[in-house]
Amino acid sequence: MSARQELSKGAEMNNATPKVNCSVFVQTLDEEANIAACLECFKWCDDIVVLDSFSSDRTEEISRAHGARWVQHKYAGRAAHQNWAMENITFKHPWVYYNLHTDADERVPAGTGRGDHAFDLRPDAGGGRL
């Protein structure tokens, strides 16, 4: 049995999700209706960062309850926001998942993060894809 299979089997027995050493970046603004389901999609990740544009609802409370780190920054357009995040947030890992549409109302496919995919979006890494 491979290490991956052992990890998956152990997680199933403990009703837990194995964690992947990967940082995830999610953008929000007043997403209390969506953020919990979004963060559930990333329960395989051991570093979730929510970049919020000063929500006035319960987005922060829900995000923190799901173990996400909370950062706020004024929204100045998608590219500027993402660039600010990559330049100013200290992610736990050099592997950071985000794409042009990772907002709280979107989901990643089931099975993502099981070790079948790798992605590295650091500027010096030449990009990557999921």
Q: What is the pLDDT of residues 38-61, one digit of tens each?
A: 898 888 889 999 999 999 999 999
Name the CATH topology of 17-107.
Rossmann fold (3.40.50)
Domains of the chain, by residue range, sit at 17-107
CA dihedral (18, 84, 128, 95) in degrees, to 10, reads: -30
Confidence (pTM): 0.70
Quick one: which of 25, 22, 21 has its CA closest to 83?
Answer: 25
- Average pLDDT over the chain reads 75
Q: Give the strands of the sheet with 45-52, arranged side by side.
A: 69-72, 45-52, 20-28, 96-97
The span from the CA of 103 to the CA of 107, in Å, is 8
Q: How many helices (H) and strands (E) does the chain have?
A: 4, 4
Q: What does the pLDDT average to over 71-83? A: 92
Q: Return the percentage of the chain with pLDDT > 70, whole number.
A: 62
